[in-house]
Amino acid sequence: MAYADTSALEKNVTVLTIRKMKQAGEKFVTVALYDAPMAAMAEKCGVEVVLVGDSLGMTVLGYDSTIPVTMEQMIYHIEAVARGNKKSLIMGDLPFMTYATPEQALVNATRVMQAGAHMVKIEGGAWLAETVQMLTDRGIPVCAHIGLTPQSVHKLGGFRVQGRGDEQAKQLYIDAKSLEEAGADAIVLECVPATLGKQITDNLEIPTIGIGAGIETDAQVLVINDILGLTPNPPKFSKNFLVEAGDIPGALKQYVHDVKQGVFPGSDQIFE
């Protein structure tokens, strides 16, 4: 599929853009990616938010988890993505144990923003509220990440669906509300039952970005390796868009289309 050599995004995407899109009931698209050419292509294909995720530890660097990822590796990839993409909102992950205290978070979030990110993402629930407030009060937008939080994989006992059962679901709901109240600008919901994804989305003013969280979240995020069929044992919530599209821009455009039309995720990609 051909794609224009210009941006498909009319204006720079900001935290206000994605909040307005939620208010208008318009879905936005997020892709986790790690380099300049893919970042440029995402912009040309209309991807509103690019996430330089610490998933790069597994997708690019060959680790078994995201735990070994360092600040230096994150900075290297955020700088590359920022060079390639001028209009999407760039979100950068703070890696494992770089935000264990609010003060440490401030130092490391500053580095991520100075590398070219427009927003930082941190994994955790209500315990992070003080950190979120510390960052947002100082002008650093925060996306919180709850549900399956890969940096806690050993505490969770594996990459497993979270929020099943009333007690766990209630806790995730409380986490989401606390993080919003603390000033978060968006929340990633990873691997939670679709009903919980909807309940949290319906009760927040800020947008939710789902990955394995059902069709009702305000946005979807997938990792570029999964979109392009590069993952040997892909997660249930992902989809290889390359196989039908035939080329990389086609795959990205199909993903953008399917999210916006509410066709992705389908029933095969959600958890009950």
If the CB atoms of residues 33 and 242 are measured against ligand KIV, the closer one turns out to be: 33
One of 13, 15, 18, 32 touching ligand KIV (CB under 6 A): 32
Considering only 22, 42, 46, 53, the residue that binds ligand KIV (CB under 6 A) is 53
* One of 48, 54, 175, 180 touching ligand KIV (CB under 6 A): 54
* Distance in Å, CB of 260 to ligand KIV, minimum: 19
Shortest spacing between CB 271 and ligand KIV, in angstroms = 15
Angle at 99 between CA 73 and CA 201, to 5 degrees: 100
Beta carbon of residue 170, minimum distance to ligand KIV (angstroms, whole number): 23
Give 204-261 as a DSSP string.
-SSPEEEESS-S-SSEEEEEHHHHTT--SS--TT----HHHH-SHHHHHHHHHHHHHT
Query: What are residue 89's DSSP bridge partners?
Result: 49
List the one residue from 211, 242, 248, 251 that touches ligand KIV (CB under 6 A).
Answer: 211
Rg (CA), the chain: 17
Helical (H) or strand (E) element with 162 = none
What is the size of the binding site for ligand KIV (CB under 6 A)?
12
The least distance separating ligand KIV from the CB of residue 52, rounded to whole angstroms, comes to: 8
Is residue 8 packed enough to be buried (19+ CB in 10 Å), middle (13-18) or exposed (0-12)?
A: middle
Instruction: Give CA torsion, residues 220, 224, 228, 233, to 10 deg.
Output: -90
Q: Which of 93, 185, 216, 218 binds ligand KIV (CB under 6 A)?
A: 93
For residue 188, state whether it binds ligand KIV (rule: CB under 6 A). Answer: yes
Contact 17, 250 (CB under 8 A): no
* From 26, 190, 244, 272, active-site residue: 190
For residue 272, indicate whether it is catalytic: no
Closest separation between CB of residue 105 and ligand KIV, Å?
A: 17
Does the footprint of ligand KIV cover residue 148 (CB under 6 A)? no
Task: Tell me if 48 contacts ligand KIV by CB under 6 A.
Answer: no
Distance CA 130, CA 79 (A): 28
> SS3 helix, strand, coil % of the chain, rounded to 5?
45, 15, 40
Which residue, judged by CB position, is nearest to ligand KIV in the bound state?
A: 53
Q: Is 164 helix (H, G, I), strand (E, B) or coil?
A: coil
Looking at the Cβ atoms of 3 and 76, the one nearer to ligand KIV is 76
Tokens of 144: 């919180």
Catalytic residues, by residue number, are: 190
Residues lying near ligand KIV in the complex (CB under 6 A) are found at 32, 51, 53-55, 93, 145, 188, 190, 211, 221, 223
